[in-house]
Structure 1
Amino acid sequence: MKGPFKPPHYLSEIERALSDDVSEWSIYNAHDPSIIKDGKYYYVFSTDTKTSSTNSKIASGAQVRRSTNLVDWEWVGHALDGVPQEAYEWTKAEGLWAPEVVKWDGQYYLYYCASQFGTNQSFIGVATSSSIEGPWVDRGKVFKTSKENKPNAIDPNLILDKKGTPFMIYGSFFGGIYAIELDKKTGKPIESNEGVCIAKRENETKEGAVEGPYMVYHPEYDMYYLFVSYDSLFSNYNVRVGRSKHITGPFLDYNGRDLNDDEYRPSDDIGNKILAGYSFRDGDGWMAPGHNSILEDEGHYYICHHARMLDRKDLFCMHIRKVVWTSDGWPVVSPERYAGEGLEVIEENELLGNWDAIEFGREIEGINVSFDFKFLENADVNIHGKAFRWKKTDDITVQIYQEDTNFSIELKVLPAWDWKSNQKTLVFTGMDNTGTCIFGKKLP
């Protein structure tokens, strides 16, 4: 196996997260990250927040970081000088949430939102610039909501449909997720209504939330993919996916269930659950991963999200992970943070041995714990102490199956960096034929 990029020596994770020097933060204290590539740099714009244990009071205006390799991140500053006046007057917010930047026809558009936790007195605004690092000129309101409105004007995500028409995907657990068409010249809605609801749940509380939408179009599968986060961002956050031929839905999961169906019970059985809290046997793991964005870079896909430390849930940071696609066009996520590795041919003998695996059952709340997974030489594989067969079907794909049943799992095997043990490893990620996602890493 060729080695991935080995990460440089850093301060400890806790030292970085608690530092009063923002230049030391790197990936830490980054919440609701939105990623974009511009020239030689990757940029992440994120919510104005920090761990409650950090002493320093920092400015507001949307945090900005950049990188040349998706591994080393440097602090750039804040996009705006505080909360724009119109947004502050409507919300009294002290900081900006969930910013996102897009580039249309040579112009950069920075979408930001302002609100306060637990209310839908919220505001989405837009600023423009000729440079991704600013200065930005505030262009005011895109959409705002109040207690009288069903949607919640937060978490904007921007996408062009196949015809080049811009849409804003937005919303949270107050009424669900919406899609609204924009005027590309102004970056604002062409109509005054809230748009089309494309995802919702029946329980409009933080425990029953659907929020943090992000949509991408995949040309190979001719599908729009809607990523959303379920449940509480403090404990059991998890990422779900549905897909549609149309930008306004319906968005269906692997089993054909509509992310917009708030009558189906239980609601946590809807959506492909591709990432949730987990813990491997060596202690490697994270709590409440979610509020993701997706980067497509020269045909390679990455998910950018935040997560909390298992033993210090007040400490959170940004993760970049590789995304690969199953043979029938569903995204699955690497169990390890990206460290510069690429895809390469995995030989059969590299698979043999003991692995530690995690399964993301839809009904499981909180932390998913690992179980034994062993590849044997005679094409047998042992999972949960049960015997299955395996065969390699292409350079990185392995099929797990039982000859006397219809059960099967498709796995993609990837080189990776084990951040816990600080060494190279192999990982797999995939999905079984019930739509349940699974990932794992090979034991030393």
Structure 2
Amino acid sequence: MPKYSKGAASILLSAALLIGGCSGGAVVAEPVYPTAPIDYPLYDLSNVDNEQEWHVSNAHDPSIIKVGDTYYVFSTDIKAAGTPRPGIMVRKSKDLIQWDWVGYALKGGIPLAASSWTKATNLWAPDIAKLGEKYYLYYSASEFGTNRSIIGVATSSSIEGPWTDEGEVVRTQQSDAPNAIDPNIAIDADGRPWMAYGSFFGGIYVAPLDPATGKFKDEGFGKQIASRSHQTEEGALEGPYIIYEPKFKKYYLFVSYDSLFADYNVRVGRSDSIEGPYVDRNGHEMNDSSYEPQYEIGNKVLGDYSFSEGDGWVAPGHNSILQDGDRSFMIHHARGQSKTSWAYLHVRQMIWTEDGWPVVSPERYAGETIQAIPESSIPGEWERIYQAKDVNGRVQGKPLSLSWDGAAEGEPGTGKWKLKGEHTLEVTWSLDNGETTVEALELLPSWDWELRKPALVFTGISSDGTGVWGKKLDSGK
């Protein structure tokens, strides 16, 4: 791989500083990295029964809302190394990094209608929303492995309750196409509420809500907006989440593919209408169950991964999205590589590409900010992760070398890199088949959770709609 000497580096760095340190010619300061965040222990058996010390552990299918200056996450009833208590877990944070236990939203456990219809022993995949002056907490119950399921709703005037159960929103049974779990409340460009929902079986549906009740406005199940041809773990489709992004005047549908225990991964498509059609970067419709191979549909932005050092993460997915002023975040769960029965809460900064696609950071959020990056911070040794769409399983980081002369060498082959604008790394790869491909990668001064030190990272998307991540191994010093 291309190398660079300290002498050459010093000369080139001086030259870069003389001309401003970036392609625009303006002087750019060294990146400001986040300080060391709180780092909760993994697989903490000493606190299995102490919920106050769970913090980010035992978090599955998280839904987030901001109330004032506080963030709240509601999540599925689970418990590693034990039996979960039903009632929907609640956590809160002031900074999206340090999370504190609040308790269970539904003190009485599983509501009667949900229990009698499904015989469920826990509640799944809640979603939290505010409609008018009330908070609406949607929950799911299901007979595992079937679509005998129900979505219900509880309301409160306070985000921390108490909650009043308002009963059924929608229910399904074996003779129905959809599966009434995994609700998400989306607000369209005109301020009207909708529910996206569904898992396996008939795919993902969306239906308008009555803002006065938080329940379906019309009879029926709504409109199907995403599906897959194989109703198996390998063909799973669930966990919908829809947002409207005013900057691009588009709706974005996030879904999770494949097995929630082994190879969950997050895909996204976009549309001009909340009812679709949603298409990926290649123009493939998320509702096209006849297209083969099915794994090609959707931009894959997050999947199983590990860098060369530190624990990796398995089956990240079932995300929610936080739009917080001019910042966006993806909130999801992931399973530890060493013990996959333990699920943890992850928050990642989400960045929008120039052409209007969301990508997420390869590192969990630690307080970093998007900022101008000097060209002199880029050359060096990196690791690159390509979230291949056809890979069912963990993707390992591969060496990437970016030289001071603008050369790039890594798994795709050889190429050239340059800094575009303030923080976009553009890499043009020359492939073995004679073709070229261009990756536009957003740079972010972050925290390296694996090595517990600052690190410059990048995130982007390839021309075929595949997430591309990188981490500089010698940055932040």
Using the size of structure 1 for normalisation, the TM-score is: 0.97
Aligned mate of 1:111, from 138, 153, 166: 138
In the TM superposition, 1:51-130 aligns within 5 A as: 51=80, 53-54=81-82, 57-81=83-107, 82-130=109-157
1:324 is aligned to 2:351: yes
Distance 1:16 1:40, change over 3 A: farther
Partner of 1:239: 266
**TM superposition shift of 1:207:** 2.4
**TM superposition shift of 1:5:** 3.8
Partner of 1:388: 415
Aligned letter for 1:15?
D
**TM superposition shift of 1:296:** 0.6
* Aligned mates of 1:410, 1:348 — CA distance in 2: 15
* Aligned mates of 1:291, 1:434 — CA distance in 2: 23
* Aligned mates of 1:434, 1:205 — CA distance in 2: 25
* Aligned mates of 1:443, 1:220 — CA distance in 2: 34
* Aligned mates of 1:351, 1:173 — CA distance in 2: 43
* Aligned mates of 1:145, 1:58 — CA distance in 2: 25
The two structures, once aligned, show a CA RMSD in angstroms of: 1.4
In the TM superposition, 1:150-161 aligns within 5 A as: 150-161=177-188
* Aligned mates of 1:418, 1:176 — CA distance in 2: 37
1:47 is aligned to 2:73: no
Are the aligned partners of 2:77 and 2:89 in contact in 1 as well (CA < 8 Å)?
Answer: yes
Please give the secondary structure, in 2, of the residue aligned with 1:89: helix
**4+ residue segments displaced more than 6 Å:** none
* Aligned mates of 1:108, 1:226 — CA distance in 2: 23
1:339 is aligned to 2:366: yes
1:309 is aligned to 2:339: no
Aligned letter for 1:50?
K
* Aligned mates of 1:303, 1:325 — CA distance in 2: 12
**TM superposition shift of 1:206:** 2.3
Are the aligned partners of 2:423 and 2:442 in contact in 1 as well (CA < 8 Å)?
Answer: yes
Aligned mate of 1:421, from 451, 454, 466: 451
Are the aligned partners of 1:17 and 1:29 in contact in 2 as well (CA < 8 Å)?
Answer: no
**TM superposition shift of 1:333:** 0.9
Partner of 1:38: 67
Aligned letter for 2:61?
D
**TM superposition shift of 1:383:** 2.0
* Aligned mates of 2:296, 2:46 — CA distance in 1: 35
* Aligned mates of 2:39, 2:403 — CA distance in 1: 36
Q: Summarize deviations over 1:4-31 as a string: whole Å, max 9, x none.
A: 1421354x21116952101100010000
* Aligned mates of 1:9, 1:221 — CA distance in 2: 36
Aligned letter for 2:206?
A
Please give the secondary structure, in 1, of the residue aligned with 2:287: coil
In the TM superposition, 1:158-169 aligns within 5 A as: 158-169=185-196
In the TM superposition, 1:77-226 aligns within 5 A as: 77-81=103-107, 82-226=109-253
Partner of 1:411: 441
The answer for unaligned runs of 5 or more in structure 1 is none
Are the aligned partners of 1:16 and 1:26 in contact in 2 as well (CA < 8 Å)?
Answer: no
1:254 is aligned to 2:284: no
Range with bigger deviation, 428-437 or 38-47: 428-437
* Aligned mates of 1:211, 1:9 — CA distance in 2: 30
**TM superposition shift of 1:202:** 0.6
Aligned mate of 1:292, from 278, 294, 319: 319
Range with bigger deviation, 398-407 or 196-205: 398-407
Aligned letter for 2:85?
A
Aligned letter for 1:59?
R
Q: Summarize deviations over 1:282-322 as a string: whole Å, max 9, x none.
A: 13420110000000111101000011111211111010001
Aligned mate of 1:28, from 57, 63, 80: 57
* Aligned mates of 1:421, 1:276 — CA distance in 2: 20
Range with bigger deviation, 74-83 or 394-403: 394-403
1:283 is aligned to 2:310: yes
In the TM superposition, 1:338-357 aligns within 5 A as: 338-357=365-384
* Aligned mates of 1:208, 1:361 — CA distance in 2: 16
* Aligned mates of 1:47, 1:84 — CA distance in 2: 15
Distance 1:17 1:164, change over 3 A: farther
* Aligned mates of 1:5, 1:283 — CA distance in 2: 19
1:2 is aligned to 2:29: no
**TM superposition shift of 1:358:** 0.5
Are the aligned partners of 2:311 and 2:338 in contact in 1 as well (CA < 8 Å)?
Answer: no
Which has the larger Rg?
2
Distance 1:385 1:332, change over 3 A: closer
* Aligned mates of 1:385, 1:349 — CA distance in 2: 24
* Aligned mates of 1:96, 1:430 — CA distance in 2: 35
Aligned letter for 1:140?
G
Distance 1:385 1:196, change over 3 A: closer
Aligned letter for 1:7?
P
The answer for unaligned runs of 5 or more in structure 2 is 1-30
* Aligned mates of 1:110, 1:426 — CA distance in 2: 38
Please give the secondary structure, in 1, of the residue aligned with 2:190: coil
Q: Summarize deviations over 1:205-259 as a string: whole Å, max 9, x none.
A: 2221000000111101110000000000011110000000000100000000001
Using the size of structure 2 for normalisation, the TM-score is: 0.90
